[in-house]
Structure 1
């Protein structure tokens, strides 16, 4: 976070700026702030109070103009009560607080997030995976995702590694997720959300093939008749 100077330890052959120094004049995002050690909490508190920090091995403090944004999936107030997070640091960070509802409470975002991650991983892994199967989308729409967006992202990244075709199927998903998803049921409005997700998947595959139902059905692993029936059902 704060870097080190040459000679700070055996392998420190040259200065290495930390994340704070590299963010000079801008914003530094600290994810999972609830997991930082007590020692780092002390250093971060000093920086927030005085805008000063000391790289490891440095003889004097340095200044930095950096805005800090922090995120966590933990209850920091409870960690403070348990003595696992500094109270003074908690109040320094808790200036403007934004609470994002868990993914299970905004299932309508799941198809959009899936599409976002498909695009990202296609670029990163140089693949051309066009969609997830309706069965996979149904699993996503009924699963509670205790790990929220990160769990969805990790599941799709895992699936990308295993998938050699153009569509992610159930067998590509992490086994742990599949085990937990069995028996899960969607919350209020779940049926409507499932229909919307399936409709989006079917239309995306159809658009890819220029409306050719035979080719779209082949990619989905179903017959053209089954595709026609599904399209009728989700209208």
Structure 2
């Protein structure tokens, strides 16, 4: 543990602010040191030397979090919080005190503070408390936004999350949506591949045309062929009438083929022909049909490995993989978990007629630390269960399942449990996360729950 005032902070640059913070302290050096610390962590920071100037800043500058010293002349921290909460009732407040007594902490909480810090400040504790307070602020903001809109206000697909991996994905979607190119979406189960496909369709010039979905692994080969291409009357037993397939249904729009890695070799051949010539025949028919359909395919399989093994045609793979989009798992975008959870709480609260306003700090900390092997689908199931079981206005730990969060560490070729030191595990976690975030120190720190300076220090140590 290190004393805040003793730290020197190297310059750093961030793509986006993690939130706005106002620091109030009559001690200039302490105020400036804390401002520098939080700026290095990616926050937008302003400061004030006393309560009166702080109120003036708040009236001109909308901020997310007020961090104030408890003992100040003229107007102390408790009075500042009381006045600030009257004018800005949704403002989150944290107090700092050199005394750190239970009595002071209780007074601060009664005045409207949500947490407190003891002086001299320790930067690990500061970062933890600030991050926790900011998560609660963002969660409340998201819930308020969702409550203001009606359930049927919009039919447009929403992609929740502003982490670096999600920013890159959104940027790619915007770039490719207006093209006619075939898109291949890859990613683990539950990461939202269909949502990405819908976004591509909605942002294209085909948005007013059909978006047709087919889950390829859900049907036997003969049924899948009929579903895709349609069939003529009498084409097979039970074919009592002519039937159009999904290609014809999607004419002018988009056909989303989910789990494309599951289709048989014979279906692969027919799909390849369509991608090459944009035409097909119905099952049992000889009339060639041409349609204007954009194909978006998705899979959680490694199609390159499937090609090498001979289970998937190489020529079809390259036809599908004109544009490649990858949906990141939740464990590499932990900063998105809180806003995602708030979105899902609001969604399922509406569906179940519940008035749930927040998630408890304990639950929020738990879900943000969990790896979510089932990704967004698992998160949604967990949230829905908690909403159904909730008896009050917020989600509590008792509403999580008894075995929630029980996960096992899966080692790679270099890391063994037991067998690896904590230093080895830390090195592996930092380097793998740093690579996954495209070399972004701020995003790496958010995902791992450590300070940006520690990430930068460790990276320098590993290079040396």
**TM-superposed deviation, 1:90:** 0.5
The match for 1:66 is 293
Q: Does structure 1 residue 48 correspond to structure 2 residue 275?
A: yes
Q: Does structure 1 residue 128 correspond to structure 2 residue 354?
A: yes
5+ residue gaps in structure 2?
1-226, 410-428, 430-443, 452-464
Alignment CA distance shift 1:43-1:157 (3 Å): farther
Q: How do residues 52-201 of structure 1 correspond to structure 2 at under 5 angstroms? A: 52-122=279-349, 125-128=351-354, 130=356, 131-157=358-384, 159=386, 162-163=388-389, 165=391, 167-170=394-397, 172-173=399-400, 178-180=405-407, 188-189=445-446, 190-191=448-449
The match for 2:205 is none
CA deviation map 1:23-50 (0-9, x unaligned): 1111222223223333332222121111
Q: Does structure 1 residue 20 correspond to structure 2 residue 254?
A: no
Could you tell me whether the CA contact under 8 Å between 2:251 and 2:293 is conserved in 1? Answer: yes
Could you tell me whether the CA contact under 8 Å between 1:139 and 1:181 is conserved in 2? Answer: no
Matches of 2:242 and 2:329 in 1, distance apart?
A: 41
Matches of 1:119 and 1:5 in 2, distance apart?
A: 47
5+ residue gaps in structure 1?
194-235
What's the secondary structure of 2:255's corresponding residue?
strand
What's the secondary structure of 2:323's corresponding residue?
coil
What's the secondary structure of 2:326's corresponding residue?
coil
CA deviation map 1:71-101 (0-9, x unaligned): 2222211111122211111000111122333
Matches of 1:72 and 1:34 in 2, distance apart?
A: 6
What's the secondary structure of 1:71's corresponding residue?
strand
What's the secondary structure of 1:98's corresponding residue?
strand
CA deviation map 1:106-161 (0-9, x unaligned): 111112222333344455x443363444444333212222333333334444555x
Indicate the structure with greater helix content. Answer: 1
Q: Does structure 1 residue 30 correspond to structure 2 residue 257?
A: yes
Alignment CA distance shift 1:133-1:93 (3 Å): same
Could you tell me whether the CA contact under 8 Å between 1:143 and 1:181 is conserved in 2? Answer: no
Query: TM-score, with normalisation over the residues of structure 1?
Result: 0.64
What's the secondary structure of 1:28's corresponding residue?
strand
Superposed CA RMSD in Å reads 3.3
Q: Which has the larger radius of gyration?
A: 2
